[in-house]
Chain A
Amino acid sequence: MALSCRGPASRPTMKARRGREAPGDVERNMVSAVSEGFELRHESTPLIPLLRQLVQSLSLIRILARKDFYVRYRRASFGLLWAIGLPLVQATVLAFVLSRITRLHAPIAQAVFIYSGILPWNTFSTGLQSGTNSIVDNTAVATRIYFPRAVFPIVVVLSGFYGLIPGVVVLVVMHLVLGGSVGPEIVLLLPAIGLCFMLTTSFALVLSALQVYFRDIKHILAAITLPWFWASGVFFQPESLGRVGRWFKWDPAVGMIQLFRAALGAGGRDWVAAVWIAVGWSVGLTAIAVLVHRRYDRVFVDLL
């Protein structure tokens, strides 16, 4: 993490990123959302300027996401290891417990099977939870300086992906170590990460806006997260449930998880349909998010 980039960094973990900023990158980001002034006549924001400002806020999103991720693990001795280690521990425990109770119809090693589900699920559900509260949590900044409010949920979702990426590497290694083989379908990991990001972001964009107006959303979400976890296909392939299984593919989390598994050659029969359904969810929610943010972007603050 290079939140700072000159002089002695206070901790060794902070050095990494200096070299990765291409010079052109910086120049391109010179113009930021707040640099050009504004003119407001209505409470709603026209779509094009809103999107333009969002694009101009990309460097802001990046630095805030890095800060968010970094702050989360700063005071922990093992730092980043927690981001990878926690889902690993969860997967191991669940694989162990479940293998005692029932037989999973897993085409690959059970631990790998569960880990490949838990990894995207954790990113998704934590992204949803922190994303939902992101605008409300940032009241102090939001009431004082303007940049598109969509930045807040995007930032927290993105910061979760700093943990997902190394987790995916661990997943592949684990798969190979436990006797799995890797074919050309491994490239599906890229769209899998992309889908996970799209889905989480679109949910977070809508929920964060709703949370400003209806403070119940956070609690409702917390209540449904656990049942959703068990229904999300972390432990099963939908088709292994017989006729009931058909309904599960409408759950966007199932499509997302199945795409990760498809990359390891364990997608099952119906994964393509499930993936398209998840894509549909993302597109639909993004459309709703655009409408909501277009209308309320400049007045969220009034209720903070």
Chain B
Amino acid sequence: MTFALKLGDVGKRYLKYEDVPLLLTRLRFRARTNRTDLWALKHVDLEAAPGDHLGVIGRNGSGKSTMLRILAGVTAPTEGFVSVKGRVAPLISVGVGFHPELTGRENVYVNGTILGLSRRELDRRFDQIVEFAELESFIDTPVKFYSSGMFVRLGFSVAVASRPDLLLVDEVLAVGDMAFQSKCFERMAQMKVDGTTIVLVSHNINAIRRTCTQVLVLHDGIPKFFGPTDEAISIYHNLVEATGDEIAGETADAGGSEFLALNLINSEGDPTNHVRSGEDVIFRFDGRFSRPVTDPDFTIRITTETGQLVYGTSSYGKASGHFAAGESMRFDVRLNCRLITGSYQAIVGIRVADEGWQAVPPMLDFFVSGKPLVKGVADLDASIEITRGVPGDEDGQATHEPATDEPATDEPATD
């Protein structure tokens, strides 16, 4: 069988930052090296045929970025081997290699060349690139004036125009607007037919589910599972829930307060990381003050995985009373989780007197499964009603026969 990419027992070791030799320590006569190995990846086997769409999921720090780097050929594995056939185009992060002072047009040429296109190929595909990115009227504007969405559109457009044999996709797609996202997914589906292998690295479960047939779950650099998407996603969710508890054990000091736990409680009263859209939930923060404080304020912010703030509120103005040193507190935020499908982060903060807001690490990652057909960020829980005829509009009334045989649907027939 021909393969498009193959990883055999790949391991990647990094030096921990504090062990990186400084000039002086290198020059010193008896340099003591207390190297600590940090294996970002270990024993990864992977094979994909042309046209396969692979997903790689895992928590932050699970080795996803290292995986991308190895597939891009940017870094070499410490052990094992990696083999990739054909042209690789990375679509990682927003507008890599774009120079802010250059116009969109100039950046297309520079970026296209970096991706391995010749001038002639770029000339030929230029209009197509611009059209796909929907940037006809901005193409001669320096990209520093572009919005992040425009950046991504142009970046994606150039990357796919390079007709890569292997397309590496990071979280980037989450940045573009919905319409463009669908367009990208359509394009990727088309590329699958053309035999392009795609590796999508993301914690956007939706994107993975939509694009990938096979998914690799990474945990602490070790592959936990490689197989069908649905199975992989449920394994991933279990992993996230299991490690969520570990995090709660850590402590962090902020504003004289000590972090004990941050939990998401579902409508049944159980801690979880996975809630339904429209569910009544509680974000419960437990902490302890290391010194006496009066009327501390609490805040909570919920962001999408791309960092967009969805909702934030605080207890400002509410007299919360006096806390003695060592006294613990519980901060419950009850809300109806009107979010669409996706992964989100919650972060809490504390403000004591006028010392400013202190974010209390770590954050809580959670997933929401929402209703189909809902788009955007928030589920405003609309009900749609369709009736015939507008009162007062005589011309618009159906006069011949009452059309009752077609039932009104409450779902729009889009997509």
Could you tell me which A residues sit within 8 Å of B by CB distance? 3-8, 10, 21, 26-27, 29-30, 32-45, 59-60, 63-64, 67, 71, 74-75, 140-147, 213-214, 216-217, 298-299, 301-303
**B123 and A5 contact, CB distance less than 8 A:** yes
**A6 and B126 contact, CB distance less than 8 A:** yes
Residues 80-118 (chain B) with a chain A CB within 8 angstroms: 80-90, 92-93, 96-97, 99, 101-103, 105-106, 109-110, 113-118
Could you tell me which B residues sit within 8 Å of A by CB distance? 14-15, 20-23, 26, 69-70, 72-78, 80-90, 92-93, 96-97, 99, 101-103, 105-106, 109-110, 113-121, 123, 126, 140, 165
Instruction: Sample 23 A-B pairs with CB under 8 A, ordered by A number.
Output: A5-B123, A6-B123, A6-B126, A7-B105, A26-B118, A29-B118, A29-B119, A38-B82, A43-B78, A60-B114, A64-B114, A67-B99, A71-B102, A140-B93, A140-B96, A142-B74, A144-B93, A144-B96, A146-B72, A214-B22, A299-B75, A302-B15, A303-B20
Q: How far is the CA of A26 from the CA of B121 in the complex (A)?
A: 9
**A143 and B140 contact, CB distance less than 8 A:** no
Smallest Cβ-Cβ distance to B85: which chain A residue:
A37
Instruction: List chain A residues, Cβ under 8 A from B78.
Output: 43
**A40 and B118 contact, CB distance less than 8 A:** no
Smallest Cβ-Cβ distance to A213: which chain B residue:
B21
**A145 and B21 contact, CB distance less than 8 A:** no
Contacts A37-B86, A144-B96, A301-B69 given: A26-B103 contact, CB under 8 Å?
Answer: no
Instruction: List chain A residues, Cβ under 8 A from B76.
Output: 40, 42-45, 298-299
What 10 A-B pairs come out closest when comparing CB atoms?
A: A298-B76, A32-B116, A3-B106, A146-B73, A34-B116, A214-B23, A39-B83, A4-B105, A37-B85, A41-B81
Contacts A34-B88, A37-B87 given: A4-B74 contact, CB under 8 Å?
Answer: no
Contacts A4-B103, A40-B73 given: A35-B83 contact, CB under 8 Å?
Answer: no
Contact of B97 among A3, A26, A140 (CB under 8 A): A140
Q: B54: shortest Cβ distance to chain A, in Å?
A: 17
Q: How far is the CA of A12 from the CA of B331 in the complex (A)?
A: 62
Smallest Cβ-Cβ distance to B78: which chain A residue:
A43
**B87 and A143 contact, CB distance less than 8 A:** no
Instruction: List chain B residues, Cβ under 8 A from A26.
Output: 118-120
**A75 and B101 contact, CB distance less than 8 A:** yes
Main secondary structure of the interface of A (DSSP, over half): loop
**A67 and B102 contact, CB distance less than 8 A:** yes
Instruction: List chain B residues, Cβ under 8 A from A144.
Output: 69, 72, 74, 90, 92-93, 96-97
Q: How far is the CA of A71 from the CA of B165 in the complex (A)?
A: 32
Instruction: List chain A residues, Cβ under 8 A from B93.
Output: 140, 144
**B86 and A64 contact, CB distance less than 8 A:** no
**A30 and B21 contact, CB distance less than 8 A:** no
Q: Which of A27, A34, A38, A217 has the most CB of B within 10 A?
A: A34
Q: A303: shortest Cβ distance to chain B, in Å?
A: 6
Instruction: List chain A residues, Cβ under 8 A from B15.
Output: 302-303
Q: How far is the CA of A214 from the CA of B21 in the complex (A)?
A: 7
Q: B77: shortest Cβ distance to chain A, in Å?
A: 6
Q: B16: shortest Cβ distance to chain A, in Å?
A: 11
Instruction: List chain A residues, Cβ under 8 A from B101.
Output: 71, 74-75
Instruction: List chain B residues, Cβ under 8 A from A145.
Output: 72, 74, 88, 90, 96-97, 114-115
Q: How far is the CA of A217 from the CA of B21 in the complex (A)?
A: 13
Instruction: List chain A residues, Cβ under 8 A from B89.
Output: 34
**B105 and A36 contact, CB distance less than 8 A:** no
**B74 and A38 contact, CB distance less than 8 A:** no
Q: B117: shortest Cβ distance to chain A, in Å?
A: 8
Q: How far is the CA of A29 from the CA of B120 in the complex (A)?
A: 10
**A35 and B123 contact, CB distance less than 8 A:** no
Contact of B118 among A8, A45, A59, A143 (CB under 8 A): A59
Smallest Cβ-Cβ distance to A141: which chain B residue:
B97
Instruction: List chain A residues, Cβ under 8 A from B86.
Output: 35-37
Q: How far is the CA of A4 from the CA of B122 in the complex (A)?
A: 10
Smallest Cβ-Cβ distance to B122: which chain A residue:
A5
Q: B2: shortest Cβ distance to chain A, in Å?
A: 12
Smallest Cβ-Cβ distance to B118: which chain A residue:
A30
**A141 and B81 contact, CB distance less than 8 A:** no
**B113 and A146 contact, CB distance less than 8 A:** no
Instruction: List chain A residues, Cβ under 8 A from B117.
Output: 32
Contact of A3 among B88, B102, B116, B165 (CB under 8 A): B102
Q: Which of B102, B113, B140 has the most CB of A within 10 A?
A: B113
**A141 and B114 contact, CB distance less than 8 A:** yes
**A147 and B102 contact, CB distance less than 8 A:** no
Q: A156: shortest Cβ distance to chain B, in Å?
A: 14
**A37 and B105 contact, CB distance less than 8 A:** no
